Amino acid sequence: MMLKFKVDENLLTEAAGLLAGAGHDAVTVRDQHMVGQPDTNVAAVCLHEGRVVVTLDLDFADIRAYPPADYAGIIVFRLTLLDKFHVLSVLQRLLPVLKREPLVGKLWIVEETSVRVRG
């Protein structure tokens, strides 16, 4: 199943390429000239476009501000290392999970060895 993603500016642009390579529609905040926009604006565009937010920004994990049920999905990475290889490695391991677990209306907190789901 093809999903639509928006990769936040705090993640590598290669993350969008990895998602696209797995058959998804992935754009970056940079692609849409939204760098520096408040989280609320990014969230509003994701709502309008039906895109899953993919970010390192823990603000998106606040279910009061961003109720998961309102979104196509929210993925927040909480990683101990943020180097390019590590982030892309964790995302690569997440790709098979995207095929078998529902994301719509859910908040996924992705850590090195686990995914916590809310919503």
pLDDT attached to residue 119: 85
CATH number, domain of 15, equals 3.40.50
pLDDT attached to residue 1: 82
Q: What average pLDDT does the structure give for the chain?
A: 96
Question: How is residue 86 written in tokens?
Answer: 């590590």
**C-alpha distances in Å from residue 48, one per residue of 35, 55, 95, 117:** 18, 18, 24, 23
Q: Which domain holds residue 17?
A: 4-118
Question: How is residue 51 written in tokens?
Answer: 């895109």
Mean pLDDT within 12-37: 96
pLDDT digit string (tens) for 33-79? Answer: 999 999 999 999 999 999 999 999 999 999 999 999 999 999 999 99
pLDDT digit string (tens) for 85-116? Answer: 999 999 999 999 999 999 999 999 999 999 99
**Domain count across the chain:** 1
Cα 116 to Cα 119: distance, rounded to the nearest angstrom: 10
